[in-house]
Amino acid sequence: MKKITQVALAVAAFGVVAGNAQAGTLQDVMAKGHVQCGISTGVPGFAFTDDAGNWQGFDPAVCQAVAAAIFGDASAVKYTTTTGKTRFTALASGEVDMLARNTTWTFSRDTDLQFEFTGVNYYDGQGFMVSKDLGVTSAKELDGASVCIQTGTTTELNLADFFRTNGMSYEAVPIETNDEARTNYIAGRCDIYTTDASGLAATRSTLDDPSAHIIMPEIISKEPLGPLVRHGDHQWGDVVRWVLNALITAEELGVTQANVDEMAAGTNNPEINRMLGAEGDLGAMTGLPKDFGHQAIKAVGNYGEVFERFIGPSTPIGLERGLNALWTQGGILYSPPFR
Amino acid sequence: MTDATALSRPTESFSLSKLWYDKKYRSVILQMIAMAILFAAIFYLAGNAVSNLEKLGKTFGFDFLSQPAGYDINQRLIEYDSRSSHLRAGVVGLLNTILVAVCGIILATILGFALGVMRLSPNWLVNKLSYCYIEFVRNVPVLVHILLIHGVLVTTLPKAKQALNVGDQFFLSNRGLYVPKPIMEPLFYLVIATFVGGIAYAWYYRRQARIKQEKTGAQSPVFWVSVGAIIGAPIAAFLITGMPLAWEIPELKGFNFRGGLALKPEFISLWLALSLYTAAFIGEIVRSGIQAVSHGQTEAASALGLPRGRTLNLVVIPQALRVIIPPLNSNYMNITKNSSLAIAIGYMDVVATIGGISLNQTGREMECMIIVLGIYLCLSLIISSIMNWYNNRIKLVER
């Protein structure tokens, strides 16, 4: 009889643990020792493998910052590549802990698909790229063109709306990944490649003669891209949200990868002190170490540094800050205060 | 023991041990247990899915099918635009699947029979060519064939503006093959009526010829009369009514060709890849079927003085078909199921529409996958029942 009680207790305990595990992504991540991060299959600048075969780029940097915040080690990330079609299933099923792959924040994804966007790391909009030979200067002249689109994206829906509302026809050439789009575009299977303007700039940089292709002035949609997690786990959502906010606030307050160690010792700006863990314990409020901000910034640098390193004007991608400049510098990038 | 059992089995007494030791009871009980386990498994899986969906806060339902799909499909057999419903998008995809499956089955059968016959040819070169083709093609995954053909088509064919032009009627570029599209004028329905009538007459004539042959032994020219009725008569009607068919010629306007009928590279490559791949298997099936007919049969037929053509028609092929049809059935189903690889090159079949984009835009994984599974199940069952019907017709009738 005693044995049966023990077994029953063990089963009950297991049930409780399993039940908790469902809700506590942060605990799961800590237990397994790494963040499982969903990224794209490769967009130059935004997600690519370096010479050593490690994933780098504007999006993996978010994953690395989160890993650094939790473990103090930016390399405690394992990546899962996802396409436009597989990404949501991967996240919903728990295959990945978070997604960081140019995903647009929309109403239905937030509510119906049950995801939580933890912020915006790139304000984008959908554009068109064509070869200069075609002699087209405006998207309004694209009637009858063949258009390469990545399926399962908001791009696809915007495109259909744009052509329909402007009374133009087009041939949709559906493709799965950015690489495939590039191949089809170069071969002339489609006249136009459409995706977020950042993605177009990234793809153009990899073409043989980038100057032979133009990105049309029309931006036909708002595409706020940001990392996302599953609904229902607010602690984990907070972790990802505030790591991203730390990178943005760091730029605003002049904290860089180079000076963060020095500043972590204490400054006369209390917000920097709180963010880097020299004052108070913001980390504990969401289950993170006290110095999570310090570790994240030390690992990848502040938002501006990440931008400069992977996609900024000095890189082949050559994106201007534009909307993505800080609110203090004419952009709309704005982080809530660390308080 | 109740009276009822005693009444129904008056000669044997019933005991519990019989349930296991009597072969008849045991087989029933084992089947019942198997069914119970199967149902329990289904019930468990369904319950698991429901509770998981609940945990994710998702509801189960097919309401989304009536909502606007919002995306466009480049190849469609019925009217469709981005305001049409997800259901309609699914139907467009289903028709595309059926189109490529039917075209694939036809081409694979023709190629497969040719390969099978070539494989048995006494000519060394023809024989070895067929052998090499079969061995190469069937040992490479079909997905590789599809990607290879698509890649070759898209990168080697000229761009739309430099399209290969045959007589200003046919245009071949990496946007596809554009051919003139027939547009029926009212009188054309007369031609169609003649065609249908021709088929009916050929069927009737064949029946009469058989009755006549059974009575008198005299043979009628069934083949030529059929050709005349089915092909000759409609052509005559077409000419008499003054060729009531207009042609819409494709022409280059702006970026693309407009008008005409288009075979897109995605369709062509999927169709060719499926056909070429499956033809290799069908070739082997045909070879084995023909080899299964003992040579003694042919010798016996020529001993009776039957000419070679009639020997093939009346002795060899009917017996070979009995061996060929069942494995052919599964290859037809394979073509249909393999067409789902269309997704790799962006051919919009049912997996790409309802099981791909609709699934992704609405987040209804469970519902969309159930629909796609149901569709493939139905297609396979339909093919299977048609082939089984044909198999029953031609199988050995014992008298």
Q: Which of B58, B74, B81 sits opposite A171 (nearest CB)?
A: B74
* B14 pLDDT above the threshold of 90: no
Q: Do B254 and A156 touch (CB under 8 A)?
A: no
Question: Which chain B residues have a beta carbon less than 8 Å from that of A159?
Answer: 72
- The pLDDT, as a whole number, for residue A13 is 47
Query: Which SS3 state, helix, strand or coil, does residue A201 take?
Result: helix
In contact, A119 and A244? CB cutoff 8 Å: yes
Chain B: closest CA distance from residue A37 (Å): 20
Question: For testing the chain A interface, which of B53, B67, B72 should be mutated: the one with the most A CBs within 10 Å?
Answer: B72
Place of tokens 């064939």: B145
What would the two tokens of residue B387 be? Answer: 């082939």
Shortest CA distance from A142: residue in chain B: B255
Question: Which H/E stretch holds residue A241?
Answer: helix A234-253
**Residue B213 banded pLDDT, cuts 50, 70, 90:** confident
* A19 pLDDT above the threshold of 50: no
Question: Which chain B residues have a beta carbon less than 8 Å from that of A172?
Answer: 71-74
- The pLDDT, as a whole number, for residue B399 is 67
Q: Comparing A20-34, A124-138, A143-157, which segment has the lowest mean pLDDT?
A: A20-34
* B2 pLDDT above the threshold of 60: no
The identity of residue B194, as a single letter, is: T
Question: Which chain A residues have a beta carbon less than 8 Å from that of B73?
Answer: 172
Q: Which of B71, B73, B254 sits opposite A143 (nearest CB)?
A: B254
**Residue B376 banded pLDDT, cuts 50, 70, 90:** very high
**Residue A86 banded pLDDT, cuts 50, 70, 90:** confident
**Residue A274 banded pLDDT, cuts 50, 70, 90:** very high
Chain B: closest CA distance from residue A87 (Å): 9
Q: A77-81 and A35-39: which strand pairing?
A: parallel
Cα angle for residues B50, B53, B55 (degrees, 5° grid): 110
- The pLDDT, as a whole number, for residue A311 is 92
- The pLDDT, as a whole number, for residue A4 is 52
Q: Do B81 and A164 touch (CB under 8 A)?
A: yes
Alpha-carbon distances, residue B213 vs A331, A334, B209 (angstroms): 93, 93, 6
Question: For testing the chain B interface, which of A99, A111, A171 should be mutated: the one with the most B CBs within 10 Å?
Answer: A171
* A11 pLDDT above the threshold of 50: no
* A318 pLDDT above the threshold of 70: yes
Q: Do B356 and A114 touch (CB under 8 A)?
A: no
What would the two tokens of residue A295 be? Answer: 């570790």
* ipTM of the complex as predicted: 0.73
Place of tokens 């203090």: A328
- The pLDDT, as a whole number, for residue A3 is 52
Q: Do B74 and A152 touch (CB under 8 A)?
A: no
Question: Which chain A residues have a beta carbon less than 8 Å from that of B258?
Answer: 144
The Cα B35–Cα B191 span in angstroms is 56
HSE (side-chain half, CA atoms, 13 Å) at B66: 3
Kindly state the percentage of chain B with pLDDT values over 70.
96
Q: Residue A138, Cα to own-chain centre: how many angstroms?
A: 29
- The pLDDT, as a whole number, for residue B82 is 84
Q: What is the pTM of this model?
A: 0.79
Mean pLDDT confidence for B279-286: 94
What is chain B's mean pLDDT, rounded? Answer: 87
The identity of residue B287, as a single letter, is: R
pLDDT in tens, B310-343: 888 888 888 898 899 999 999 999 999 999 998 8
Mean pLDDT confidence for A300-310: 95
- The pLDDT, as a whole number, for residue A15 is 43
- The pLDDT, as a whole number, for residue B334 is 93
**Which runs of consecutive H residues, i.e. helices, occur in chain B?**
3-8, 18-21, 23-55, 86-119, 124-138, 142-156, 188-216, 222-227, 233-240, 265-292, 295-303, 308-311, 317-338, 359-362, 365-394
Shortest CA distance from B57: residue in chain A: A114
List, as one string, the DSSP characters of B325-358.
Answer: HHHHHHHHHHHHHHGGGGGGTT---TTTIIIIII
Q: Do A173 and B82 touch (CB under 8 A)?
A: no
**Residue B222 banded pLDDT, cuts 50, 70, 90:** confident
Q: Residue B289, Cα to own-chain centre: how many angstroms?
A: 21
CA torsion sign, A315 to A320 to A324 to A328?
Answer: positive
The identity of residue B57, as a single letter, is: G
Q: Report the 10 Å Cβ neighbour count for B21.
A: 9
CA proximity to B57, closest of A232, A236, A234, A118 = A232
Query: Which SS3 state, helix, strand or coil, does residue B399 take?
Result: coil
Mean pLDDT confidence for A199-207: 89
Q: Do B57 and A231 touch (CB under 8 A)?
A: yes
Rg (CA), chain A: 22
In contact, B341 and B142? CB cutoff 8 Å: yes
The Cα A305–Cα A261 span in angstroms is 16
- The pLDDT, as a whole number, for residue B328 is 93
- The pLDDT, as a whole number, for residue A291 is 92
- The pLDDT, as a whole number, for residue B314 is 86
pLDDT in tens, B37-91: 999 999 999 888 888 877 767 778 888 888 888 888 888 888 888 888 999 999 9
Shortest CA distance from A113: residue in chain B: B363
**Which runs of consecutive H residues, i.e. helices, occur in A50-125?**
60-71, 87-92, 107-111
Question: Which chain B residues have a beta carbon less than 8 Å from that of A93?
Answer: none
* B108 pLDDT above the threshold of 80: yes
Q: Do A187 and B174 touch (CB under 8 A)?
A: yes
Chain B: closest CA distance from residue A16 (Å): 15
Higher local confidence (pLDDT), A23 or B399? B399
- The pLDDT, as a whole number, for residue B8 is 53
**Residue A120 banded pLDDT, cuts 50, 70, 90:** very high
The Cα B347–Cα B269 span in angstroms is 9
B156 CB burial (10 A radius; 0-12, 13-18, 19+): exposed
What would the two tokens of residue A2 be? Answer: 């005693």
Q: Residue B131, Cα to own-chain centre: how many angstroms?
A: 25
Chains A and B form CB pairs within 8 A to the count of: 99
Q: Do B57 and A89 touch (CB under 8 A)?
A: no
Q: Comparing A275-279, A283-287, B157-161, which segment has the lowest mean pLDDT?
A: B157-161
Chain A: closest CA distance from residue B48 (Å): 14
Question: Which chain A residues have a beta carbon less than 8 Å from that of B70?
Answer: 156-157, 160-161
Q: Do B254 and A144 touch (CB under 8 A)?
A: yes
Q: Do B57 and A232 touch (CB under 8 A)?
A: yes
- The pLDDT, as a whole number, for residue A1 is 44
The Cα B263–Cα B261 span in angstroms is 7
Mean pLDDT confidence for A303-313: 94
* B232 pLDDT above the threshold of 80: yes
What is chain A's mean pLDDT, rounded? Answer: 88
Kindly state the percentage of chain A with pLDDT values over 90.
57
* A20 pLDDT above the threshold of 50: no
